[in-house]
């Protein structure tokens, strides 16, 4: 076998990520190229502000999400249940935060699943990455849903020992102006640094 | 070939510091609390493999607005390389995005409107492709110019560089990086390149010049730049 190669260092995404790379409907995960075929599941809207130090809104962040489909499946060879994955759901979306620091996604509520790696149940969740000028590496965390019985057993949720800090990752139902009428709306603000700082995970 | 299913933490000195002296934005945006360790679960070892369904690919000529249009000003360059995992296996079918400044050091972006350097109406400035069976990517462009970092007290100039965004085969192999050019005097003083503590790590960000004889075309200066993303495969293909 070939000798081990060391991963290329990360560098900041900078302030000039092309605008046409984050345009269009890349933040809407409920359909692929063909709008007539919708992803299965409950449509949801997730939005919030991103803040840097001193609670200043951080515009021009590149935000990406990754999640299982409504049945908790991934269309990926590493998922033993991949045959059941929704063919109209890619699970990935991207958005840039606007001038007021607002990011948002339209997606379907992810299903939980029995995790083959840890042997524990994963509660419904969405992985989120934030890239920005000033961030030499992306920061990553996971969003959880309120009132889910599986949250208490989730190995990622419980990787944060302090319950008050952990709570910052739970989406809050809120009526949001930009949410589509047929979607359940949730809010989650992300504080990169400072009071109420969002807990982030080792990438 | 199956995608990687094992990801180890990054080797710290080979990755950049998060807080960089003199780079003010890094002081304002880097989380102040330590990061939490979490176990990798299925969500982390999977990722979007069919992104070409969602994203428009096949834009690999940055040097002009469209086919047949006039070329941007500057020295034409051909940049190619392979996307590999940690076992040097090719990462196939990955979306790879690039963007850069024009030959005068200005981006096609509204956030660069304060830059006194000229725009070039013929410069497209960004591209997106999918890596092939060998993990290879290639694009045609013009050599980017250096540019001063706005409002920086020590007159910090960024050396010529190209930005890369790589989706890989899983959430954990996502990589955003920059490629630098060999022999550039500004490389040695760049705060972002210098943020990588390990010298070998910094070298991994610098492309190699391709000898003319190895290029299929005579109208470009060639550069070769392999990129390694995280991940090991359970059943690597034998050699």
- Per domain, the residue ranges of chain A are 19-191
Interface probe with A: pick from B9, B171, B225, most Cβ of A within 10 Å:
B171
**What is the tens place of the pLDDT at every residue in B191-215?**
999 999 999 999 999 999 999 888 8
Tell me if chain B has a CB within 8 Å of the CB of A42: no
The residues of chain A scoring below 70 in pLDDT are: 1-2
Q: Is B171 helix (H, G, I), strand (E, B) or coil?
A: helix
* Smallest Cα distance from B26 to chain A, Å: 4
Asked if the structure places residue B218 within a domain, the reply is: yes
Sort out which chain B residues have CB atoms less than 8 A from A58's CB and list them.
Answer: 29
- Phi, psi dihedrals of residue B161, rounded to the nearest 5°: -155, 160
Helices (H) and strands (E) in chain A, counts: 1, 11
Mean predicted confidence (pLDDT) in B71-96: 96
Tell me if chain A has a CB within 8 Å of the CB of B90: no
Active site residues of B: 107, 147, 158, 161, 163
Interface probe with B: pick from A17, A136, A150, A159, most Cβ of B within 10 Å:
A136
Say yes or no to pLDDT of B237 above 60: no
| pLDDT reported for residue B33 | 96
Residue A194 burial (CB count, 10 A) = 15
Interface of A with B in 81-120 (CB under 8 A): 90-92, 113, 115-118
Asked if the structure places residue B195 within a domain, the reply is: yes
Say yes or no to pLDDT of B239 above 60: no
| pLDDT reported for residue B87 | 94
Tell me if chain A has a CB within 8 Å of the CB of B35: yes
Give B154's pLDDT tier (boundaries 50, 70, 90). Answer: confident
Its ipTM equals: 0.96
Sort out which chain A residues have CB atoms less than 8 A from B94's CB and list them.
Answer: none
**Burial class of residue A191, CB neighbours in 10 A (0-12, 13-18, 19+):** buried
Best CA proximity match to A51, nearest among A96, A102, A13, A17: A102
Best CA proximity match to B191, nearest among B12, B29, B22, B17: B22
The beta-carbon neighbor of B3 closest among A33, A78, A199 is A78
> Do the beta carbons of residue B96 and residue B165 sit within 8 Å?
yes
| pLDDT reported for residue A180 | 97
| pLDDT reported for residue B212 | 87
Task: Residue B54: give its domain's CATH number.
Answer: 2.60.130.10
- Mark yes or no for CB contact B195/A79 under 8 Å: no
Asked if the structure places residue B205 within a domain, the reply is: yes
Percent of chain B's residues with pLDDT above 70? 98
Asked if the structure places residue B26 within a domain, the reply is: no
| pLDDT reported for residue A176 | 97
| pLDDT reported for residue B46 | 97
Interface probe with A: pick from B11, B14, B43, most Cβ of A within 10 Å:
B43
CATH number of A19-191: 2.60.130.10
**Chains A, B: CB pairs < 8 Å:** 250
**What is the tens place of the pLDDT at every residue in B118-131?**
999 999 999 999 99
Tell me if chain B has a CB within 8 Å of the CB of A51: no
- Mark yes or no for CB contact A16/B30 under 8 Å: no
| pLDDT reported for residue A66 | 98
**How do strand B208-210 and strand A102-108 relate by DSSP bridges?**
unpaired
* Smallest Cα distance from A186 to chain B, Å: 21
Tell me if chain A has a CB within 8 Å of the CB of B122: no
**What is the tens place of the pLDDT at every residue in B160-195?**
999 999 999 999 999 999 999 999 999 999 999 999
Asked if the structure places residue B93 within a domain, the reply is: yes
Best CA proximity match to A112, nearest among A125, A93, A103: A125
* Smallest Cα distance from A8 to chain B, Å: 5
- Show the domain range for B81: 39-228
- Mark yes or no for CB contact B47/A92 under 8 Å: yes
> Do the beta carbons of residue B175 and residue B227 sit within 8 Å?
yes
| pLDDT reported for residue B238 | 44
Say yes or no to pLDDT of B145 above 50: yes
Asked if the structure places residue B120 within a domain, the reply is: yes
> Do the beta carbons of residue A61 and residue B25 sit within 8 Å?
no
Asked if the structure places residue B131 within a domain, the reply is: yes
Asked if the structure places residue B238 within a domain, the reply is: no
* Smallest Cα distance from A180 to chain B, Å: 21
Counted domains in chain B: 1
Sort out which chain B residues have CB atoms less than 8 A from A91's CB and list them.
Answer: 48
The helix (run of H) or strand (run of E) holding residue B137 is: strand B136-142
């Amino acid at each position: 076998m070939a000798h081990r190669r060391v991963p290329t260092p990360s560098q900041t995404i900078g302030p000039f990520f092309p605008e046409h790379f984050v345009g269009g409907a890349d933040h809407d995960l409920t359909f692929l190229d063909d709008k007539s075929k919708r992803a299965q599941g409950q449509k949801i809207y997730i939005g919030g502000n991103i803040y840097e130090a001193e609670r200043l809104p951080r515009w021009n962040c590149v935000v990406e999400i990754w999640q299982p489909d409504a049945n908790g499946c991934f269309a990926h060879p590493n998922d033993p249940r991949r045959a059941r994955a929704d063919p109209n759901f890619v699970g990935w979306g991207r958005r840039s935060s606007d001038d007021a620091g607002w990011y948002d996604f339209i997606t379907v509520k992810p299903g939980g699943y029995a995790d083959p790696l840890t042997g524990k149940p994963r509660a419904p969740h969405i992985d989120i990455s934030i890239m920005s000028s000033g961030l030499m590496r992306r920061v990553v965390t996971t969003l959880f849903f309120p009132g889910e019985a599986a949250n208490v057993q989730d190995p990622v949720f419980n990787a944060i020992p302090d319950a008050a800090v952990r709570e910052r990752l739970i989406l809050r139902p809120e009526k949001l102006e930009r949410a589509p009428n047929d979607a359940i709306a949730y809010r989650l603000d992300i504080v990169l640094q400072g009071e109420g700082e969002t807990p982030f995970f080792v990438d | 070939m199956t995608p990687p299913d094992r990801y180890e933490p990054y080797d710290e000195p080979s990755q950049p510091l998060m807080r960089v002296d003199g780079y003010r934005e890094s002081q304002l945006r880097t989380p102040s609390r330590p990061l939490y360790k979490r176990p990798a679960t299925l969500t982390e070892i999977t990722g979007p493999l069919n992104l070409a369904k969602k994203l428009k690919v096949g834009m690999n000529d940055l040097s002009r607005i469209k086919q047949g249009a006039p070329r941007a000003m500057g020295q034409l360059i051909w940049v190619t390389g392979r996307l590999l995992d940690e076992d040097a296996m090719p990462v196939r079918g990955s979306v790879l995005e690039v963007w850069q400044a024009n030959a005068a050091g200005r981006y096609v972006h509204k956030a660069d409107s304060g830059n006194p350097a000229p725009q070039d109406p013929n410069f497209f400035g960004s591209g997106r492709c999918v890596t092939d069976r060998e993990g290879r990517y290639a694009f045609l462009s013009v050599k980017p110019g250096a540019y001063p970092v706005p409002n920086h007290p020590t007159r910090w100039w960024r050396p010529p560089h190209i930005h890369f965004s790589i989706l890989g085969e899983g959430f954990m192999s996502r990589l955003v990086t920059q490629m630098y050019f060999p022999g550039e005097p500004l490389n040695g003083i760049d705060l972002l390149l210098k943020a990588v503590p390990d010298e070998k790590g910094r070298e991994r960000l610098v492309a190699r010049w391709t000898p003319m004889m190895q290029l299929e075309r005579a109208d470009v200066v060639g550069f070769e730049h392999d990129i390694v993303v995280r991940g090991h495969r359970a059943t690597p293909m034998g050699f």
